[in-house]
Structure 1
């Protein structure tokens, strides 16, 4: 299984740190040339590989950690996303619901990535929390996952556990996705809830 993070802002870097802590290889890419951020990627850890966007999108699992408005640019990188799992880490805060056709922001994104299995996740935490070790007070930091594809949700749940998090599945995008999405001027009820699960 190969992994990539598209977007290398505060959230992309926080995700890269989670992979680096566990020594799991992940490609990081932006629309810029990889040389422009290669030293920053290397500073996070030896398993964080700066790549061109065209190279990074060859991964099986792709974390979409760009600004919501930028997702169409990423979607153009491949003619079809068949066989790929996209983890939507974006938030559509400030994007009017009518611009999304009244649907959850993740379903809107899923339309751009035709053929992909989409999981909404890792987006409810601020970058500072996401960047920290998820082992907290003897428990594990929670990440919420929502998807219309149960197999994809299970796959990302396993990855979340391998990264040290406690995944909690919220169901489909229309139910669970609304709890962890921002759109217009509203936040889902679980956004910014930094929770710890004790086994």
Structure 2
């Protein structure tokens, strides 16, 4: 396969609340097509998608999860419902944008929240990212003060992290890799009633 024939990855955002829409705006700003889905009928949020841009394509959950890279922008409690949409997530990268604030640590078996989420997506590769900023800031153009807004990424598969880092660059952000889910993931997660040290840190990187 030549470089010109190289398969272009397909993208989906599951969850179309404030965070899902903020991520969709980043895709629209850069002219990159992305499917969006919720557990509801696509027609119920089609006008919200159209308001962001023609690149935002409403689909059913079953259609959207066919994408190569799936942003998980649902409430933490709903991640298992999304995971059930496919029997196997082999070959797919899941970007965990959820926050488990207020979820008892015991409920996750004492694990980092992203590692707990990863277990639900059988065969998939999970990268924690895009979750440390509020929706209003995440939805803004990341080109600020002559630099680029930082997004933190953590994951146990280096290839998957590199893939999402490249996507973050294409969306205009400056990706900062934090290491694995058990180390870096702790810095960008909510655990019980505490926030990781990098949550809400609105940082800009200058080249």
The structure 1 residue matched to 2:55, chosen from 39, 47, 62, is 47
Q: Deviations over 1:24-56 (max 9, x none)?
A: 000000000000001110110010000000000
Name the CA distance, whole Å, in 1 between partners of 2:75 and 2:186. Answer: 18
Gaps of 5+ in 1: none
How far is 1:183 from its partner? 1.9
CA distance in 1, matches of 2:44, 2:29: 23
Query: 2:156 maps to which residue?
Result: 148
1:92 aligns with 2:77: no
- In the alignment, the residues of structure 2 paired with residue 131 and residue 156 of structure 1 have an alpha-carbon distance, to the nearest angstrom, of 18
Equivalent residue, structure 1, for 2:200: 192
Counterpart for residue 179 of structure 1: 187
Equivalent residue for 2:43, pick from 35, 45, 54: 35
Looking at structure 2, the residues matched to 126 and 114 of structure 1 have their Cα atoms a distance apart, in angstroms, of 29
User: How many matched pairs?
Assistant: 199
Report the Cα distance in structure 2 between the residues aligned to 1:10 and 1:103, rounded to whole angstroms.
27
Distance 2:104 2:158 in 1: 29
1:15 aligns with 2:26: no
2:166 to 152, 158, 163: 158
User: Which residue, 106, 119, 128 being the options, matches 1:111?
Assistant: 119
Q: Distance in 2 between matches of 1:154 and 1:112?
A: 22
Q: Which residue of 2 aligns with 1:65?
A: 73
For the residue of structure 2 that corresponds to 1:86, the secondary structure is strand
Q: Aligned equivalents of 2:168 and 2:89: distance in 1?
A: 22
The runs of 5 or more residues in structure 2 that have no matched partner are 1-8
Task: Provide runs of 4+ in structure 1 moved above 2 Å.
Answer: none
Q: CA RMSD in A?
A: 0.4
Equivalent position of 2:88 in the other structure: 80
> With structure 2 as the length reference, what TM-score do the two structures score?
0.96
Once residues 191 and 134 of structure 2 are traced to their aligned partners in structure 1, the CA distance between those partners, rounded to angstroms, is 16
